[in-house]
Amino acid sequence: MQFTAELRFDDGVLEREFTLGEIPGILWTPGSASASAPAPLILIGHPGGMRRMYPRLAARARHAAAEGYAGATIELPGSGDRPRSAVAEEARADLRRALQAGEPVADEIVDRLVLPLVEQAVPEWRATLDALQSLPEIGGPVGYSGGVIAIGVRLAVVEPRISAALLFAGSFVPRAMFEEARQVTIPLQVLLQWDDEGNDRQMALDLFDAFGSKEKTLHANMGGHTGVPHFEGDEASRFFARHLK
């Protein structure tokens, strides 16, 4: 892991860009006041396109840093400056066509789009976690927050270092992964936008039902994909405070 640029915000938060092999990422650590002890880490997911998502990612990370967490994100395979996948691009176009036509989204489109992404992204997030945990400023439990929900599901199953996950039911999950959802046992908070144009409400409710976790909470709010209410930021902080501290 190589740090390539750094920036200190007025609130003391240190933002550092890094690369892990070919993968670009960003790490935010709390300001000096709270940085005496190693900070628990939240992995900050996104739908792909880290630069495009930067303002929202930085806002989430600085919100978390104010509560004493480090935050980190990496670019997804096939997004941003990373090489495109022809299979994924075609599947994404098929998905967009189905949604625009108001048609049900065929399972095989979701499979083509999401399964290879999960297969590639999850080991990358785990390698990032290895690298981050070797830093003296990172320590303690790890949370995962947001992004492509199928990646969050797989990480919650295979990565024992993740203690709690906040999942955003804002993208399709391959049917084959519902079995995996039953194997999730860590505490979950699941966000659902009731009229999300990029998801299927019943599928999201079925997925919530499938999770094996004893402690899981669904927060459903009105509006479309980008309409998550501002107060859910604080709700996320409180969820992680219950489970990472």
Q: Which of 219, 236, 237, 240 binds a second copy (CB under 8 A)?
A: 219
How far is 67 from 234, CA to CA, in rounded Å? 10
Which residue number, 128 or 189, has a Cβ lying nearer to a second copy?
189
What would the two tokens of residue 27 be? Answer: 């790490």
Minimum CB separation from a second copy for residue 110, in Å?
23
Q: Are strands 138-146 and 39-45 parallel, antiparallel or unpaired?
A: parallel
Residue 192-211 contact track with a second copy, rule CB under 8 A, x = bound: --x----------x--xx--
Q: Which of 29, 145, 213, 237 binds a second copy (CB under 8 A)?
A: 213
Minimum CB separation from a second copy for residue 147, in Å?
22
Minimum CB separation from a second copy for residue 142, in Å?
21
DSSP per residue, 92-141: HHHHHHHHHTTPPPPHHHHHHHHHHHHHHHHHHHHHHHHHHHTSTTEEEE
Is residue 49 part of the contact set for a second copy (CB under 8 A)? no
How far is 184 from 63, CA to CA, in rounded Å? 27
How far is 221 from 232, CA to CA, in rounded Å? 9
Is residue 215 part of the contact set for a second copy (CB under 8 A)? yes
Residue 225-244 contact track with a second copy, rule CB under 8 A, x = bound: ----x-x--xx--x---x--
SS3 150: helix
Residues that bind a second copy (CB under 8 A): 194, 205, 208-209, 213-222, 229, 231, 234-235, 238, 242
